[in-house]
Amino acid sequence: MTDRLTIAQPDDWHLHVRTGSILKTVLAHTARQFGRAIIMPNLKPPVTTVEHAMAYRAEIIAALPQESIFQPLMTLYLTGNTSVEEVKKAAESEHIYAFKLYPAGATTNSDAGVANIAAAYPIFAAMEKHNIPLLIHGEATNAEYDIFDREKIFIDNQLSQITQQFPALRIVVEHLTTEEAVQFVESSSENIGATITPQHLLYNRNAILAGGIRPHFYCLPILKREHHRLALLNAATSGNPKFFLGTDSAPHLTSLKENACGCAGCYSAHAALELYAEAFEQADALDKLEGFASFYGADFYQLPRNTRTISLEKQSWTVPMDYGDNDNLITPLRAGEKLHWKVLAT
**185 annotated to bind ligand:** no
Which of the residues 3, 149, 248, 287 is marked catalytic? 248
Amino acid symbol at 234: N
Q: 82: which residues sit within 8 A by CB, 6+ positions away?
A: 48, 76, 99, 120, 123
Name the phi and psi angles at 103, rounded to 5.
-60, 135
**220 annotated to bind ligand:** yes
The secondary structure of the chain in percent helix, strand, coil, rounded to multiples of 5, reads: 40, 20, 45
**88 annotated to bind ligand:** no
**18 annotated to bind ligand:** yes
**95 annotated to bind ligand:** no
**17 annotated to bind ligand:** yes
**334 annotated to bind ligand:** no
User: Is 248 a catalytic site residue?
Assistant: yes
**175 annotated to bind ligand:** yes
**Which stretches within the chain are classed as H helix?**
20-31, 50-63, 84-92, 121-130, 150-154, 160-165, 179-187, 198-202, 206-209, 226-236, 254-257, 272-282, 289-290, 296-300
Q: What are 318's strand-pairing partners?
A: 338
**270 annotated to bind ligand:** no
User: Would you list which residues are annotated within the binding site?
Assistant: 14, 16-18, 42, 100, 137, 175, 220, 248, 252, 264
Give the residue ranges of the annotated binding site for Zn(2+): 14, 16, 100, 137, 175, 248
Query: Which of the residues are catalytic?
Result: 248
Binding site listing for substrate: 16-18, 42, 137, 220, 252, 264
